Homo-oligomer: A and B are copies of this chain.
């Protein structure tokens, strides 16, 4: 049990005053991360890492239920291997970290620290895939990768970040495309259910594809400040990598054929998304599914006889239901504890004091909306379970309303500029002819870039918002993290 802790939870910068500072204040005050002398890298502290462990556990189960297996590739890629697929190396070489020495000796060939592992998976597949019987391989790994970013921010952009990268190889294009879409849906379900964060599913435009991909799908979420955050991506590679790495298999007709591949990933960026989707001026607000502590019990007037005993009894009862519960019986004041667990985004708080005990009840406070309700102690387990479900649903609804309020349908560049000026940053939906020149011009003139071509299309007009020529797609535009 916790000791008395005299440090105060100092207030954080308000979101409206300085959004960027509000964000980093939460990262620090909720004890998610700490800076290090390694520029652009951070320590993920126990509370932040526990969120990631919950994300991992849920996603890993979803992946395995879909037949995926985990593996572990080396963290290094020899330069010659990285160079094998032209588009891929062009995309990544400028931002990798290079190992040039082992001990005191220079290496014969320099090695990059993996920025992503397509090349290693391809080399491995070339070794183990020979027949249609060896297909598909549905592999994933949970590792960290390195990209030498110039400017960094906790969780959103750092030189090293944690992620999972799925890499699959299939006999046919159809199977690989099915996989690409399936994994995007898997990510979307996870974000909406577990993180209570609505997302838009769509396809990236040609200019915004992953290096080496035939097509890239993404899920896009809208943050509190009206900026877009790409929360997950899924790539279809066709047989381009297979050809570059000479991966061939004998098909059922006993003829040589090239397999088709995919890759897909989500990162610790999701923790940044949680902060900026649900957080408020009191701190973090965590979706129950990934909260390290789902319920905190705060005894009121705990020095009075029977209070701590009762609080402990409630703790034991809740623990038995499998909920992640903590009893804070430290000497800190209830007010201090309220602020502390609000900062840390604990979804539900149970208060129990002498009067509550007399009345056979307790107070249950919900973090996301600040509401308090009284519950009978006889029905504590059910009341807490209900509140956790209510919290997820309420958080999702609130985030969806926020997104809808900040999604603007526009049919001209002027309308885009006006909407953004009057209503603030947000998602813009507008038609597009498919030409990269128009994509660039929209960005230049309005500030919003193409986020994706949503699967769910709506014909807002038949003309491109930029050039006026026939429109091909409705595009979701926004300013991006």
Measured CB to CB, the residues of A under 8 A from B are 3-6, 34, 36-38, 41-46, 49-50, 52-53, 69-78, 80-81, 93-104, 111, 113, 120, 123-124, 127-128, 133, 139, 143-144, 146, 148, 159-160, 162
Contacts and interface: CB of A to CB of B under 8 A. Distances in A.
A7 to B, nearest CB: 8
A162 to B, nearest CB: 7
A113 B99 contact: yes
A120 B160 CA distance: 15
B128 A34 contact: yes
B37 A133 contact: no
A5 B103 contact: no
A49, A103, A124 pick with most chain B CB within 10 angstroms: A103
A101 B148 CA distance: 9
B101 A38 contact: no
A93 to B, nearest CB: 8
B102 A148 contact: yes
A95 B103 CA distance: 4
Nearest to A96: B103
Contact of A98 (B74, B81, B101): B101
Contact of A36 (B38, B124, B160): B124
Nearest to A137: B46
A41, A70, A74 pick with most chain B CB within 10 angstroms: A74
Given A97-B102, A144-B75, A160-B76, A70 B43 contact: no
Contacts of A50: 69-70
A74 B73 CA distance: 19
A36 B139 CA distance: 17
A330 to B, nearest CB: 10
B74 A36 contact: yes
List the 4 closest A-B pairs by CB distance, nearest first.
Answer: A41-B74, A46-B69, A102-B148, A98-B101
